[in-house]
Chain A
């Protein structure tokens, strides 16, 4: 039942996203194209975090680090004249996966609040590296030398093409993610969350599975970073700032963790809210902050459980 409901919500969300460019064209607001592309990019990051946070119960407060690594993996080759997306994007995934391997190998030795802190510390480390390397923009960041080139008719300079490329990647991620969490691998990851000692007792060594999930999530988030650099056409270490990691966690929780499609809804809700509130007042965070506290206190299941067919407990 839940699986069917999830399939329906996923299809609905993707269909709605696919229709955005049409609607934006009709009401003549190209800005929406930009906004929803941004939403989908952060949705990819949030879904990747959901794999370890929602399913594996690993609260990483440093997920934005991979967003930054992905962005650097696009901007630095571009600076040296390498524009092919077929080089940049796999590089983004490989480098952030590698970073996740190192960070995970150390962090996963700890648990609970220590895990939260050490992932945060690693992200801060990378943030400070980014700040201090002047040739790569340093603190101020730098303009992207050019968007990634996919070749053929797929020109990311065309807002519609770029939009549908991101949408396709998001759809593939949700599809593959669905298979991964349903497979044996996903079962072990969920078992880690609910009872790790028992998992050990029945003869499964959880560390390798946790690390694999951590690396997978990092690599996918790296791809989101590569897309983000193309979206903003700008590279800045602030992609790795710890408040960005906080934002991504908020998206996951707001949408409903451990549901894959929930974080997509969460990313949309978060960025739309930010958009509406910031148009209304420059002090929008003074509203967003308490709102966040209220969501945590009273709407634990996120948007996912408020949708029709949810347990409604919120």
Chain B
């Protein structure tokens, strides 16, 4: 294996990582501030992907579809918060798991009713097609490179918003002591709705960018959701920094595991055994990582400091 291929795999790992981060950021914020376990966050990712496909067919423009899909996912997120989730903040995690499990069933089926059960085709926009030569000999798809850039830009933007704006200050304050923030006259309910809506839009952004790479179909949200849960648990629930680190780590481990575990195993055990053990081990790798992290750091790598 040449080092160029290794670099390409590393970039693919980074690309998966930022994708996971987009979804994980909203989830971890919602958990950190509202203390809500939202299993249906993956559904918002799916909804974003479907909206992008639908709006693109309707307007014919990728840029317009991105904007419209983001707005639509934002609205869907806020509606879900107001209708179903608002009442759950004070409930225990079990209730939240159950109710959001119900939402998953609803969203998957609703999407199947509107767009059908078959996978939809979402093509890479022509302007972002082709390859870019990063270093001599390494041609990387432009679209994936753009995803990496967008993801890193969003991470930076989130950092600025959370630590240097008034909204971010309220978010941090709400996370550490919501009663006190409410007592100071902040409309905490509206704040929650806004935060949830933006979390949803971030997941939608992940989904609409994922469309042309992965398949757009009902249930696409859960496959990603489980990995995202691994990400935020590794990073420490409620911490955006943890989500970023966790996402990159999981993206790398997953991508490199799938690429190199089988050939590496084949040098140790027989190739046929490696053929069946390799993929199994590769798909388990992130879960093993998570179990190991939790064994040594039961609160994740960057435990968020919480008050009641």
B230 CB to closest chain A CB, in angstroms?
6
Contacting A112 at CB < 8 Å: which of B93, B287, B300? B93
Q: A288 CA to B99 CA in the complex, in Å? A: 11
Chain B residues whose CB sits within 8 angstroms of the CB of A285 once the complex forms: 105-106, 108-109
- Considering only CB atoms, which chain A residue lies closest to B279 in the complex? A132
Chain B residues whose CB sits within 8 angstroms of the CB of A124 once the complex forms: 226, 287
How many interface residues does B have (CB within 8 Å)? 44
Q: Which one of B49-57, B263-271, B290-298 is at the interface?
A: B290-298
> Is A106 at the interface (CB under 8 A from chain B)?
yes
B109, A121: Cβ atoms under 8 Å? no
> Is A86 at the interface (CB under 8 A from chain B)?
no
How many interface residues does A have (CB within 8 Å)? 44
Chain A residues whose CB sits within 8 angstroms of the CB of B113 once the complex forms: 283, 286
> Is A122 at the interface (CB under 8 A from chain B)?
yes
Chain B residues whose CB sits within 8 angstroms of the CB of A120 once the complex forms: 226, 229
B299, A114: Cβ atoms under 8 Å? yes
> Is B94 at the interface (CB under 8 A from chain A)?
yes
B280, A128: Cβ atoms under 8 Å? yes
A132, B280: Cβ atoms under 8 Å? yes
Chain A residues whose CB sits within 8 angstroms of the CB of B107 once the complex forms: 289
- Considering only CB atoms, which chain A residue lies closest to B102 in the complex? A292
- Considering only CB atoms, which chain A residue lies closest to B117 in the complex? A282
Within 8 A of A (CB), among B250-294: 276, 279-280, 283-284, 287-288, 290-291, 294
A110, B287: Cβ atoms under 8 Å? no
A282 CB to closest chain B CB, in angstroms?
9
> Is A118 at the interface (CB under 8 A from chain B)?
yes
Q: A125-B284, A125-B288, A128-B280 are in contact. Are A250 and B112 (CB under 8 A)?
A: no
> Is A296 at the interface (CB under 8 A from chain B)?
yes
Within 8 A of A (CB), among B97-142: 97-99, 101-110, 112-113
> Is B233 at the interface (CB under 8 A from chain A)?
yes
B115 CB to closest chain A CB, in angstroms?
13
A255 CB to closest chain B CB, in angstroms?
13
Q: A113-B93, A249-B98 are in contact. Are A293 and B230 (CB under 8 A)?
A: no
B298, A110: Cβ atoms under 8 Å? yes
Q: A295 CA to B99 CA in the complex, in Å? A: 8
Interface string of B201-236 (1 = CB under 8 A from A): 000000000000000000000100010011001000
> Is A134 at the interface (CB under 8 A from chain B)?
yes
Within 8 A of B (CB), among A18-58: 53
Q: A117-B229, A242-B226 are in contact. Are A289 and B283 (CB under 8 A)?
A: no
B97, A249: Cβ atoms under 8 Å? yes
Q: A292 CA to B100 CA in the complex, in Å? A: 9
B287, A253: Cβ atoms under 8 Å? no
Q: A109-B294, A249-B97 are in contact. Are A128 and B284 (CB under 8 A)?
A: yes
Q: A135 CA to B280 CA in the complex, in Å? A: 13
Contacting B294 at CB < 8 Å: which of A118, A243, A246? A118
> Is A291 at the interface (CB under 8 A from chain B)?
yes
> Is B237 at the interface (CB under 8 A from chain A)?
yes
A297, B237: Cβ atoms under 8 Å? no
**A118, A134, A249: most-surrounded residue (chain B CB, <10 A):** A118
Main secondary structure of the interface of A (DSSP, over half): helix
A69 CB to closest chain B CB, in angstroms?
16
> Is B37 at the interface (CB under 8 A from chain A)?
yes
Main secondary structure of the interface of B (DSSP, over half): helix
- Considering only CB atoms, which chain A residue lies closest to B292 in the complex? A106
B95, A125: Cβ atoms under 8 Å? no
Chain B residues whose CB sits within 8 angstroms of the CB of A246 once the complex forms: 97-98, 101
Chain B residues whose CB sits within 8 angstroms of the CB of A118 once the complex forms: 233, 290-291, 294
> Is A307 at the interface (CB under 8 A from chain B)?
no
Q: A61 CA to B84 CA in the complex, in Å? A: 21
Chain B residues whose CB sits within 8 angstroms of the CB of A110 once the complex forms: 294, 298
A132, B102: Cβ atoms under 8 Å? no
Q: A7 CA to B18 CA in the complex, in Å? A: 55
B287, A121: Cβ atoms under 8 Å? yes
A59, B106: Cβ atoms under 8 Å? no
B105, A289: Cβ atoms under 8 Å? yes
> Is B62 at the interface (CB under 8 A from chain A)?
no
> Is A176 at the interface (CB under 8 A from chain B)?
no
B102, A293: Cβ atoms under 8 Å? yes
> Is A308 at the interface (CB under 8 A from chain B)?
no
A106, B226: Cβ atoms under 8 Å? no
B102, A288: Cβ atoms under 8 Å? yes
Apart from A242-B222, A288-B105, A296-B102, list 7 A-B contacts with CB within 8 A: A109-B294, A114-B298, A114-B299, A121-B229, A292-B98, A293-B103, A297-B87
19 pairs, A vs B, C-beta closer than 8 Å:
A106-B294, A110-B294, A113-B31, A118-B291, A125-B288, A132-B276, A132-B280, A132-B283, A246-B98, A283-B112, A286-B105, A288-B102, A289-B106, A291-B102, A293-B84, A293-B99, A293-B102, A295-B98, A296-B95
Q: Which A residues are closer than 8 A to B by beta carbons?
A: 53, 59, 61, 106, 109-110, 112-114, 116-118, 120-122, 124-125, 128-129, 131-135, 242-243, 246, 249-250, 253, 283-286, 288-293, 295-297, 300
Q: Which B residues are closer than 8 A to A by beta carbons?
A: 31, 37, 84, 87-88, 91, 93-95, 97-99, 101-110, 112-113, 222, 226, 229-230, 233, 237, 276, 279-280, 283-284, 287-288, 290-291, 294-295, 298-300
Q: Rank and list the top 10 A-B pairs by shortest CB-CB distance, nearest first.
A: A292-B102, A289-B106, A289-B105, A132-B280, A286-B109, A285-B109, A128-B283, A296-B99, A285-B105, A293-B102
